[in-house]
Amino acid sequence: MSTYSSEELNELLGHFSLPQMEYLIKPLTDGLINDTFLVFDAATPLYILQRVNHLVFTDVKGLMNNIQQAFKYLKGDDYTRITLVSPKTGGSHYISPIGNHWRVMTYINGSTAYNTTEDSNIAFQAGRVIAKFNSLLQQADLEDYVDTIPRFHDITLRQDQYKSAIKTAPPEKLEIAEKAIVFTNEVLEKLTALDLKNLPVRVCHNDTKLNNILFSKETKKALCLIDLDTLMKGYFLYDFGDAVRTIANTAAEDEQDHNKIVFDKNLFEAFIDGLAINGSFLTKNEVQMLPWGAVLMPFLHGIRALTDYLNNNIYYKVAYENQNLDRSLSLYNFTQKALSHIDYMESVLKEKLG
């Protein structure tokens, strides 16, 4: 994370329509892309101040318009509202003299997030609020939204990037990654054959891992979704699959002990029970295809990690040389488990959402 002084950050806040005072500002270190700070009035957290990484998100204006449009609808019963604080000059965010893009949003006090869970109530609440999020956005006009990362979940793009990496990778890396490469080729054949054309295109979150959901610390009720930078057009099975890979599995994304990687049926069914509360917007075709979302999403994250490993770790941050390969193998392990549970998932979804 970049280093900013308290004076610099307070000066930035001075460009927004906020009460003018000396705020206490503390960095939040969970994010990997943006610089994020929690803004306090004395001991009370009030706002999130964030620098949007314009090297990753090249169309910040479009990204912020997506969020601004979505916030019109993301409110109501059982969904806690977050709002943008406008700059004094108007618009959705402030651009500093050196070209950095800053935004301020309201903070939900008493909230928390979880990386993994073994609590079926957390899984249930996650399903409920993800479906609520998507249900509320049924009112949105697709034409109002741009793709913040074009082809983000496009299996054909990830296949092409992977094949290019295979051609240029050092021979020793190809040897070390042989197991992952064999699995990639096998599953690519299945996933590239999927026909998604009959599914409705929706405004989706596109990154619904568990830690992008805020929960009440006191009641553990899911409040809302955060990190909306990938909010854009997509298929609901993207949101479904990203949730399943981080809710039904209690292990970390780069877990090296694959015995700890599970497909927990109790957590999966609790998640689907929550989804069913607000899932009436889903079509029959969508429900039938959802199990493949639970295969597609961990595989997409896995092939991206493997591709980066073969490209000498140029995209993801790594703590050691083979971390991207470990990420890939872990994600592929869950992909295999999801594949082996296709019939089970179809049965549960038919029962609870059919």
- The 10 Å CB-count burial string (b at 16+, else e) for 78-96 is ebbebebbbbeeeebbbbe
* Structural domain ending residue among the three candidates 109, 143, 177: 109
Tell me, yes or no, whether 137 and 218 share the same domain: yes
Tell me, yes or no, whether 114 lies in a domain: no
Rg, the chain, Cα only: 21
* Structural domain ending residue among the three candidates 109, 135, 168: 109
Q: Would you say residue 16 has pLDDT above 70?
A: yes
CA 326 remoteness from chain centre: 20
Q: Long-range contacts for 34-41 (Cβ within 8 Å, ≥24 apart)?
A: 34/229, 35/1, 35/2, 35/4, 37/4, 37/9, 38/107, 39/13, 39/104, 39/107
H helix or E strand, kind and range, residue 264: none
Note the pLDDT of residue 1: 46
Q: Which token pair is 38? A: 């929690």
Give the single-character DSSP code of 97. T
In this structure, are residues 101 and 60 in contact, taking their beta carbons and an 8 Å threshold?
yes
Q: Left, alpha or beta for 42 (phi > 0: left; psi -120 to 50: alpha)?
A: left
Tell me, yes or no, whether 278 lies in a domain: yes
Tell me, yes or no, whether 115 lies in a domain: no
Provide the 3-class DSSP secondary structure of residue 186: helix
Q: Would you say residue 228 has pLDDT above 60?
A: yes
In this structure, are residues 235 and 300 in contact, taking their beta carbons and an 8 Å threshold?
no
Say how far apart CA 265 and CA 299 lie, in whole Å.
20
Note the pLDDT of residue 121: 98
* Structural domain ending residue among the three candidates 109, 130, 161: 109
Residues 338-350: what's their mean pLDDT?
98
Tell me, yes or no, whether 85 and 153 share the same domain: no
Tell me, yes or no, whether 150 and 102 share the same domain: no
What is the pTM assigned to this prediction? 0.94
Tell me, yes or no, whether 93 and 195 share the same domain: no
Q: Tell me, what CATH number does 19's domain have?
A: 3.30.200.20
Tell me, yes or no, whether 125 and 198 share the same domain: yes
Tens of pLDDT along 75-106? Answer: 998 999 999 999 999 999 999 999 999 999 99
Tell me, yes or no, whether 311 lies in a domain: yes
Mean pLDDT check: name the lowest of 6-15, 176-185, 250-259: 250-259
Tell me, yes or no, whether 135 and 272 share the same domain: yes
Tell me, yes or no, whether 139 and 206 share the same domain: yes
Look up tokens 């610099």; give the residue: 8
Tell me, yes or no, whether 212 and 331 share the same domain: yes
Confidence of residue 315 (pLDDT cuts 50, 70, 90): confident
Tens of pLDDT along 119-174? Answer: 999 999 999 999 999 999 999 999 999 999 999 999 999 999 999 999 999 999 99
Tens of pLDDT along 236-288? Answer: 999 999 999 999 999 988 889 999 999 999 999 999 999 999 999 999 999 99
Confidence of residue 31 (pLDDT cuts 50, 70, 90): low
Note the pLDDT of residue 316: 79
Tell me, yes or no, whether 1 lies in a domain: no
Count of structural domains, the chain: 2
Say how far apart CA 269 and CA 121 lie, in whole Å.
11
Tell me, yes or no, whether 132 and 94 share the same domain: no
In this structure, are residues 242 and 208 in contact, taking their beta carbons and an 8 Å threshold?
yes
Say how far apart CA 115 and CA 89 lie, in whole Å.
37
Domain range for residue 157? 120-353
Tell me, yes or no, whether 61 and 161 share the same domain: no
Tell me, yes or no, whether 78 and 223 share the same domain: no
Q: Tell me, what CATH number does 229's domain have?
A: 3.90.1200.10
Mean pLDDT check: name the lowest of 103-107, 125-129, 220-224, 310-314: 310-314
Tell me, yes or no, whether 65 and 163 share the same domain: no
